[in-house]
Structure 1
Amino acid sequence: MFKVFVGIIILAIVIYGGILIYQQYLLRQLKTIDQQRQQLDIDGLDTAVAQVKTMSLTGKTLDQVQELLTDYTALNETRLPRLKAQLDQATGSAKQYRLLATRSNLKKAQDSLRVTQDAIAQLTDQIDELKQVDEQHKAAVKALEKKYQDLRKTLLAKNFMYGPSIDGLETELGTLEDDNDRFRELTSQGDHEKAAQLLAQLQKDTEHLEEMIEQIPPLYKNLETEFPAQISELQQGEATLSAQGFKYPEADMHDQIQGLNGEVKAGKDALTQLDMDKVQANDTALTNKIDHFYDTMEKEMGAKEKVTTNLDTLAKFIAHARNQNTLLTRELDRLNLNYTLDHQEVETAREFKEQIRNLDSAYQADIEAIQSNQAVYTQVLARQTQAEHDLQQIEEQQQTINTAVSGLVKEEQQARDTLQQFELRQHGLRRQVENLNLPGVSKTYLDYYNVVRDEIAKLNDDINQVQINMEEITKQLIMIQSDLDILAEKTTDLVDSAELSEQLIQYANRYRLTHDEVAKASQEAQRLFDQEFDYAKSLETIATVLDQVEPGSYKRLEDNYYHQKGTTKKPEPEAKEEQ
């Protein structure tokens, strides 16, 4: 029982100790919050609020300040006393060991402190912003006054540089000064919201005025001195050139130049109205037109010199082309009697003649225009340049045609000589075969021979027509040359096979009685020779058997044949050797 009692006492002591420790913790927390409360810059805020109260404020700015003062009053009369009361109540609860109530009041005090700190910071920021805006507006008033004074000095000292725009500029400046006075008034009254709106417009309008003051002098100088001087020079130049007989691509260029003074006046009117977009557009348009008129007159003067130089050269070129065309036409007419001209040479020459006639007509028209002072020299020069190009093309093409047809007579003679050679060669091949007194020739050889003979006959007929086509003749010559070469090879093969076959059949007689196979082969070879006229097959038949009976005999007899003939054996195709 005693031990239980002792345990209870110890437990009570521990609990009491814990309560004391927690009590001290809460009291320290409350003390910290109270210290933070006491550190709040209420005096600085009071001073700032007092300064705001002394400011003369109107409009929405006054409404904002009144709302600010209401918040300040609520802070002083409600928030701060409530925070103090919460701290006192929490401290009393802690001392009475009402720890749960103390903890609740501590939480409320912490929240109230945070809200109070935020409120003070917000009020301070609003007051600082208000004071800053007030200072900025006062500084802006002074800066604008200084700027307007400088602008007015510029306009007074350099009013000659602004011409008719000076009155408008001074009016604009006066309006800005009036607006600045209104801005100063709003600032002094403390209506900073309206003052800020007016300041933004003032700054925009001031920038626009400064831009005009900078832009106008060079524009006015152009309108007052540069453009009039250039227009006067253009008028004098145009009058002088017109008196000398110059004409221009633009028939109304004289009127256009005279109208430039009206555009100068329009530019000055726009300057008077300070319509800068119109003034800029007018300046650009006048600059471009004046440059264009200068350029036009310079081109016409330069073109006249070139045109004058080209007249004699072009006349000779046209005469040369006409003479060349006449000679070509005569030659084509003559050749057309005997030859077929199938590349439209005659038609092309006639087209060239018409082109030359048109070029000459244009040339004569330009001469008349120059003599009557109606010529636009740049246009004449362009026609001369094109005419020279066209004449050059015509000359080159006429030379090409002349070169192509000039060799027709020579080509015809060469073709006749070649035809004669073909006929002689054909007859020579025929005599080679006839001299052998063969029993006949194969149908294949005879057909090919007849084809070549007919080709030569057709060529002979075509070349003896009244009007011949040399292009077609040339094609026939090439074809016949190839076919004759093939016929010559076939003839050589036929002659060699026939003569060798006869020699081998005679040579084989020495073996006919002793070798039945030789007798049979000899009989078959003779049949192929006499009846089928297949001399190559006949040769192959007897040669094969002889080489079996007497190896090397065919090669010896063949070599001896070609030796006596004075030629060598034609190499056999590779495909045949492989077989």
Structure 2
Amino acid sequence: MMVEFVIGAIIVVLIFLIYAMVGRKRNAKEIDQLDMKKTELLHRPVNEELAKVKRLNMTGQTESLFDRWRAEWDEVVTVDIPAVDEKLFASEDQVDKFRFGAAKKTNNEIESRLVQIEKKVNSILSELEQLVGSEEKNRAEGEDMYTRQREAKKRLLAHRHTFGKAASVLEIQLDVIAGRFDKFADLTEDGDYLEARELLMEIQAEMDIMEHKMVRIPVLMTEVNHTLPAQLSEIEHGYKEMKQDGYMLDHLQIEKEVNELKEDLNRSRDLLVKTEVSETELIVKDARDSIEFFYDLLEKEVMAKHHVLKDEGETGTVIHGISEQNDDLLEQTDLVKQSYQLNGEEADVPKRLKEEIYHLEKQYEILYGRIEEEKTAYSFLHDELKDIQARMEELKKEQEGFSAFLQTLRKDEVEATKELQTLKNRLQHITRKVKQSNLPGIPDYYKELSEDARVRIHETGTNLNEKPLNMKAVREKLDAANGSVEHLANKTDELIEQVALSERMLQFGNRYRRTHPSIGPKLNEAELAFRQADYSKALELCATAIDKVDSKGLKRFDAQFKEEQP
């Protein structure tokens, strides 16, 4: 009993020792990691960056920011880091005393404190970088902006005539920008680098706008003072000449539109003097689009007149020809109706076309009168002429289609006659095939199928001999006859095969009569059905009888029958 107690105590002690070793190792690792993080923060290059700031102009905003950053960094070094060291020592002491829970809590507090310190250090470094970077960028980009301003001023002086009255305004705007450079220099001198940076960004945006204006204003000056006014004058001149030549152009209202465009151009000139480029661009674009539209309208009138006068009654001549063609179509239809039946819609096609052609002739007569009067815009006349011509082409196609339909009727009759003769020949072939097969008898269903095929062929022939001939009815009868003969042909092959199969199976079954007398009655019944031409029943009775006395008999019969087939 004592030994067991000692062993148990030793095990407990061992477990405690293992727990203590693992706990100390884990916590020691955490403490080392926290200490490394503290050291890393302490060695961040804050002092080096502060030294860069000290080389700048230490006045105004720079001095204020420098003092704040240095104070914050001193607080990190003299207050925050020592506090972390104190906590690290406390955590190590707790680990030595195996107070792992307390050590874990202390480590969490250290980690939270280090996160706060890191945010503070990152903020200092970020602001330092922004200030130092702003000073460097301001110096480089400020020179570039100043150069751009001076180049713009030189370009304005060298090409002043191309800017017209806008040159004075542009000069004032460039001088304003130059004054903003003075403010930029003052901010830099006072150490307000970040504020100077914001001002420099504004100057850059203003210079971008200035340079765009100086590129576009000479171009727009040319557009609004020369190019567009010249094009408007050309349109006015062309408009007047066309009216003198007899064109009806009042519906275009070009004079009103041109006057409105002139007013817009006058307004755009005032805008250019004020260097309002964007709004002028919109006016110029609208003017260009309108002028292009006017050119298209006038050109459309010229082309329309060309097409209308070129017609010179040609369309009327074509319509008259269609009318004569329709009279011939009416005569053809009357002749065809003597030989073929046409349904109401088919028979009325020529009459309907004649009525539509009549209305088209009247429409063209009215149009031709308006052309002679010369009181309607040619574009309107041309559009109406195109509509008449389009309908004219549709009527021609309808005539051609109906004429082809009439010709097809005779073709269909010939083809139907040939197809009927082919069916008659096929029926005769089937009849000979059945006779040559020497069948013991013909089943009633087969007789009915044969009679149906003969009747349908006869009905088709009767329909073909009718006058006037109804080709639709002929086609329906012919299709029915085709189906009936095809069905008869299939059933003929089935019947001949069924007879041969049942006859051979009866012969095969008779072999079992001596060895299996019980099969006799069923075979006798099957032979009776065979003689009565009920071949399917004979097969069924015979197969049942054989299978009853020999389960493999039908398989042997099937193999033997296949070998005997040619």
| TM-score with structure 2 setting the length | 0.53
Deviation at 1:235, TM superposition (A): 0.9
- Residue 340 of structure 1 corresponds to 341
What's 1:288 paired with? Answer: 289
**Structure 1: which amino acid aligns with 2:296?**
D
Once the 2 structures are TM-superposed, how far is the Cα of residue 227 of structure 1 from its aligned partner?
0.3
The separation in 1 between residues aligned to 2:269 and 2:296, in whole angstroms, is 26
Q: For 2:366 and 2:299, how far apart are their aligned partners in 1?
A: 24
Does the C-alpha gap of structure 1 residues 263 and 346 become closer, same or farther in structure 2, counting only changes over 3 Å? Answer: farther
* 1:518-563 C-alpha deviation (Å, 9 max, x unpaired): xxxxxxxxxxxxxxxx9x9xxxxxxxxxxxxxxxxxxxxxxxxxxx
| DSSP-derived class of the 2:252 partner | coil
**Residue aligning to 1:372:** 373
User: What corresponds to 1:191 in structure 2?
Assistant: 192
Superposition pairs of residues 85-96 of structure 1, within 5 angstroms: none
Q: Distance in 2 between matches of 1:257 and 1:411?
A: 68
Question: Aligned pair 1:206/2:207, yes or no?
Answer: yes
> 1:553 matched to which residue of 2?
none
- Residue by residue over 1:312-347, the C-alpha shift from the partner in whole angstroms, topping out at 9 and shown as x without a partner, is 321211111111112222443465467421272332
Q: Does 1:363 align with 2:364?
A: yes
Please give the alpha-carbon distance, in whole angstroms, between the structure 1 residues aligned to 2:53 and 2:455. Answer: 134
Q: CA deviation at 1:285?
A: 1.6
- 452 and 249 in structure 1: CA distance in 2 versus 1, 3 angstrom threshold: farther
- Determine the C-alpha separation between the residues in 1 that align with 2:140 and 2:406: 101
Matched-pair contact (CA < 8 Å) for 1:141–1:184: no
Structure 1 distance, partners of 2:219, 2:405, is 71
Displacement of 1:449 after TM fit? 8.4
- Shift in alpha-carbon separation, 1:578–1:342, aligned structure 2, 3 A: farther
> In the alignment, is the contact (CA less than 8 A) between 1:455 and 1:480 conserved in 2?
yes
1:346 partner amino acid: A
Structure 1 residues 352 and 319, CA, compared in 2 at 3 Å: closer, same or farther? same
Q: CA deviation at 1:206?
A: 1.4
Residue 344 of structure 1 aligns to a residue whose secondary structure is helix
Letter paired with 1:324: Q
Assess, with a 3 A threshold, how the Cα gap between structure 1 residues 408 and 68 changes in structure 2: closer, same or farther. closer
- 1:169 matched to 2:174? The reply is no
Q: What corresponds to 1:242 in structure 2?
A: 243
**Does 1:154 find its partner at 2:161?**
no
Residue 61 in 1 paired to residue 72 in 2? no
Q: For the pair shown, which has the larger CA radius of gyration, 1 or 2?
A: 1
Read off the aligned partner of 1:237 and give its amino acid letter. Answer: G
Whether the aligned pair in 2 keeps the contact of 1:463 and 1:473 (CA below 8 Å) is no
Amino acid at match of 1:172: Q
Q: CA deviation at 1:212?
A: 1.0
Q: Distance in 1 between matches of 2:213 and 2:173?
A: 11
Kindly report which structure 2 residues correspond to 1:108-507, keeping only aligned pairs within 5 A, or say none.
144-247=145-248, 251-333=252-334, 335-336=336-337, 339-342=340-343, 344-405=345-406, 468-472=469-473
8 Å CA contact 2:460, 2:481 repeated in 1: no
Cα distance in 1, alignment partners of residues 416 and 66 from structure 2:
123
- 1 CA distance for matches of 2:449 and 2:149? 119
Q: Deviation at 1:229?
A: 0.2
Q: Encode CA deviations 1:187-216: one digit per residue, 9 max, x unaligned.
A: 334433332222221122112111111122
Report how many residues are paired.
Answer: 380
Deviation at 1:183, TM superposition (A): 2.1
Paired letter, 1:168: V
Is the deviation greater in 314-323 or in 241-250?
241-250
Corresponding residue SS for 1:245: coil
- C-alpha contact 2:456 2:480 (8 A) present in aligned 1: no
CA distance in 2, matches of 1:473, 1:194: 101
Q: Name the Cα RMSD after superposition.
A: 5.4
CA contact (8 A) 2:456 2:481 kept: no
Please state how far the C-alpha of 1:300 moved relative to its aligned partner: 2.3
Report the CA distance between 1:233 and its aligned residue: 0.3
Distance 1:464 1:144 in 2: 104
Aligned match of 1:102: none
Which string of whole-angstrom CA distances, capped at 9 and with x for unpartnered residues, describes residues 462-515 of structure 1?
A: 9566x553543576689899999xxxxxxxxxxxxxxxxxxxxxxxxxxxxxxx
Q: Flag structure 2 segments of 5+ consecutive residues without an equivalent.
A: 1-46, 79-120, 421-442, 486-530, 534-561
Question: Which amino acid letter does the alignment assign opposite residue 299 of structure 1?
Answer: K
Residue 157 to residue 408, structure 1, CA distance change in 2 (3 Å): closer
CA distance in 2, matches of 1:68, 1:409: 110
Given that residues 168 and 274 in structure 1 are in contact (C-alpha distance below 8 angstroms), is that contact kept between their aligned partners in structure 2?
A: yes
The equivalent of 1:435 in structure 2 is: none
Q: Is the 8 A contact 1:306 1:381 kept in 2?
A: yes
Give the whole-Å Cα distance in 2 for the aligned partners of 1:142 and 1:451: 108
Contact between 1:299 and 1:378, CA under 8 Å: does it hold in 2? yes
Seen in structure 2, the aligned counterparts of structure 1 residues 164 and 315 have a Cα distance that, compared at 3 Å, is farther
The code of the aligned residue for 1:206 comes to M
- CA apart distance, 1:253: 3.4
Q: Which amino acid aligns with 1:151?
A: A
Residues 1:177 and 1:298: Cα distance change in structure 2 (over 3 Å): same
**Residue matched to 1:12:** none
Q: Distance in 1 between matches of 2:479 and 2:135?
A: 112
1:447 and 1:64 map into 2 onto residues whose CA distance is: 114
Aligned 8 A contact 1:325 1:352 in 2: yes
Aligned partners of 1:482 and 1:206: how far apart in 2?
92
Distance 1:283 1:391, change over 3 A: same
Conserved in 2, the CA contact under 8 Å of 1:329 and 1:346? no
Deviations 1:112-163 (A, max 9, x none): xxxxxxx9xx99x979976x96687567666555543332232233233223
Corresponding residue SS for 1:259: helix
CA 1:389 to 1:187, structure 2 compared with 1: closer, same or farther past 3 Å? same
Instruction: Name the CA shift for 1:153/1:414 in 2 (closer, same or farther; >3 Å).
Output: closer
Shift in Å, 1:367: 2.1
Alpha-carbon distance in structure 2 between the residues aligned to 1:244 and 1:314: 25
SS in structure 1 of the partner of residue 151 of structure 2? helix
Distance 1:65 1:456, change over 3 A: closer
After superposition, give the CA deviation of every residue in 1:241-269 in whole Å (9 maximum; x if it has no partner): 12223346963334223322122123223
Determine the C-alpha separation between the residues in 1 that align with 2:69 and 2:477. Answer: 119
Partners of 2:238 and 2:449 lie apart in 1 by 92
Is the CA contact (8 Å cut-off) linking 1:303 and 1:381 kept in structure 2? yes
Tell whether the 8 Å contact from 1:303 to 1:377 is kept in structure 2 after alignment. yes
Alignment of 1:529-544 (within 5 A): none
Is the Cα–Cα contact under 8 Å of residues 48 and 127 in structure 1 kept in the other structure? Answer: no
Determine helix, strand or coil for the equivalent of 2:313. helix
Change (3 A) 1:153 1:358: farther
CA distance in 2, matches of 1:127, 1:157: 43
| Amino acid in the other structure paired with 2:310 | T
Q: Distance in 2 between matches of 1:214 and 1:457?
A: 94
Q: Matched residue of 2:342: which SS?
A: coil
Note the C-alpha offset of 1:236: 0.8
Measured in 2, the distance between the counterparts of 1:415 and 1:127 equals 100
Shift of 1:289: 1.5
**What's the offset of the Cα at 1:65?**
5.1
Task: For residue 199 of structure 1, give the secondary structure of its aligned residue in structure 2.
Answer: helix
**Per-residue deviation, 1:348:** 2.1
